[in-house]
Amino acid sequence: MSYDFDLFVIGAGSGGIATARRAAEYGAKVGIAEFDRLGGTCVNRGCVPKKLMVYASHFPDLFEDAEGYGWSAVKSSLDWQKMITAVNNEVTRLNGIYQRMLDNSKVEVLEGYGKFIDAHTIVVGESQVTADKVLIAVGGYPIKPDIPGIEHAITSDDIFHLQEQPQRIVILGGGYIGSEFACILNGMGSEVTQVIRNEKILRGFDEDLRTEIQQAMGNHGIKILNNSQLIAIEKSDTGIKVTVRRDGESEETVVADAVSLAATGRKPNTQKLGLENTKVQLDAEGAIIVDKYSRTNEENIFAVGDCTDNINLTPVAINEGRALADTVFGNKSRTMSYENVPTAIFTTPEAATVGLTEAEAREKYGDAVKVYRSRFRPMYYTLPGKDEKTMMKLVVDQNTDKVLGAHMVGTSAAEIIQGVAIAVKMGATKANFDATVGIHPSSAEEFVTMR
């Protein structure tokens, strides 16, 4: 049977575009559908604009630190409108780059939602196309809890388009998105209250990492209401009132200018795809079930990225997509490895991690686990006289001497752990770390000098 496309991709985010371009390199005729801007969550509502705002939030501390090095005091204020406009202009620039990349790869872009009529037929707006292979790469979306007044809250997607800086903001949720935005807005001068359900932020990360970041956030002026359950949101003359129940008993009300549902969860964006017209199966949370080759129950339909709810990171979606294209169109069969995937949390202080947490390692290897930990004040903070700490940690299997995990909280953690991740991925031992000469003076050298 003749099809319009060898591959048709639904969703032009990082995973979808990476797959489309790689398949086109192998000579496949490729089309892609997108109802919004190119680049998906990462470029438009996530990694890129968020990291630019992280940079913006650091300048007040840098101005202050400079005085310790002999520079005169700097009096400066944030022009929120100028900052947010510059951030969104950069996003627009990147959209243009993605369009040019797809054009250069001869990938045809169709604007609109993609919906299955059957396993090989997709409707996009007023158009109907057929494809031999179809990739679903539609990502996820933020969800709102069903509580009174929830319409007064914004999601993390909306923060990038606020026209005025909220002087008081309540961040709901203790995941990495909520924690990052709490730090960003605190750094920019907003009064921040973060409401979390658990004792600590960043559930699932290493316990020492969680403790270190939460303590630092408190030291920097962020008020964290832990063990708290959101009850209601109400608009009043004085602002937006957020009522929470703490420790299952007492109630507390916080008044703010804005309430952000930054980390109350995301769900796979699979509701409007017409999957009922295919054999594609979903799990209980609406995520698409795939095998190790990203193939669904429908032989010609694949899925990558956040809509599979595997590891929801942009580089993972890209790698999944390229592995799929290599396998299906390049005759180079390979799969994505989910072992030792590094990640970063762009809080202040920054954190990054790769491999097993201490708890995961002890569950798997028991008493054979040995932990090496270091906590110190980096040289940078000595002259400003600040008590900022860096924490580094290695988790090691004593039976094999293999490094099972590496965790860091502190300046440039992401840059440092990216290099450490190569060693962990290769199966390096603690002896290999010890045999490596450190770069002095640097914080990174601590990873090869811990005893």
Domains and CATH numbers, the chain: 5-142+267-329 (3.50.50.60), 150-264 (3.50.50.60), 349-448 (3.30.390.30)
Contacts 24+ apart (CB under 8 A), 245-254: 252/225, 252/228, 254/170, 254/193, 254/195, 254/225
Residues with catalytic roles:
440
- The answer, yes or no, to whether residue 312 has pLDDT greater than 90, is yes
Mean pLDDT confidence for 24-39: 97
pLDDT in tens, 40-88: 999 998 999 999 999 999 999 999 999 999 999 999 999 999 999 999 9
> Across the chain, what does the average pLDDT equal?
96
pLDDT in tens, 261-291: 655 678 999 999 999 999 999 999 999 999 9
- The answer, yes or no, to whether residue 156 has pLDDT greater than 90, is no
The predicted pLDDT at position 262 comes to 56
pLDDT band at 98 (very low <50, low <70, confident <90, very high): very high
Count of alpha carbons within 13 angstroms of residue 269, beta-carbon side: 21
pLDDT in tens, 378-424: 999 999 999 999 999 999 999 999 999 999 999 999 999 999 999 99
pLDDT in tens, 174-225: 999 999 999 999 999 999 999 999 999 999 999 999 999 999 999 999 999 9
